[in-house]
């Protein structure tokens, strides 16, 4: 798998970029210090653009959780709202971990509860379960009455149990 990934990166020109190479060819996620050394949040934000390989984009989105700034939050909210489902889930996960007390991030998670994709609804549920606000609890309780997917209902049940 790593050889195929490396070949695709070389073919796309991404292998020339040290941050792209670090994000996509190592099994262990880079530390925040490494990410800062390789360009930090501005460089990671640039790597989330569609012209970069999918795996680089997904790794860059996940790594943005190390940089809880307003610019990063806004980018993650945008990325969580449209595009590839796996990238949207990664953005929701990053919002959940890096912006636990952020109202805008919470609104994005609540909005994701209405998504057609059960995978995205489950990511939103897990993110809202980490919060302590009455808004997040109310959103989870309301979703429990409307959820139609059995696996997502189970995730909701676990989330509500952990909140009580």
pLDDT of residue 3 exceeding 80, the answer is no
pLDDT at residue number 18: 73
pLDDT digits (tens, 9 = 90+) for 124-153: 999 999 999 999 999 999 999 999 999 999
CB count in 10 Å sphere of residue 133:
13
Instruction: Note the pLDDT of residue 91.
Output: 98
Mean pLDDT on 26-30: 67
pTM listed for this prediction: 0.84
Residues, the chain: 164
Place 37 in a pLDDT band, splitting at 50, 70 and 90: confident
């Amino acid at each position: 798998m790593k050889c195929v990934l490396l070949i695709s990166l070389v073919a796309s020109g991404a292998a020339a970029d040290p941050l792209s190479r670090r994000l996509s060819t190592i099994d262990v996620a880079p530390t925040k210090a490494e990410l800062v050394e390789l360009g930090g949040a501005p460089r990671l934000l640039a790597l989330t653009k569609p012209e970069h390989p999918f795996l680089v984009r997904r790794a860059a989105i996940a790594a943005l959780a190390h940089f809880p700034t307003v610019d990063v939050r806004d980018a993650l909210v945008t990325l969580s709202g449209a595009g590839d489902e796996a990238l949207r889930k990664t953005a929701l996960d990053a919002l959940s971990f890096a912006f636990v007390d952020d109202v805008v991030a919470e609104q994005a998670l609540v909005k994701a509860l209405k998504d057609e994709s059960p995978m995205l609804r489950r990511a939103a549920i897990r993110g809202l379960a980490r919060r302590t606000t009455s808004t997040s609890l109310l959103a989870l309780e309301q979703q429990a009455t409307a959820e139609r997917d059995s696996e997502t209902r189970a995730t909701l049940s676990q989330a509500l149990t952990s909140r009580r």
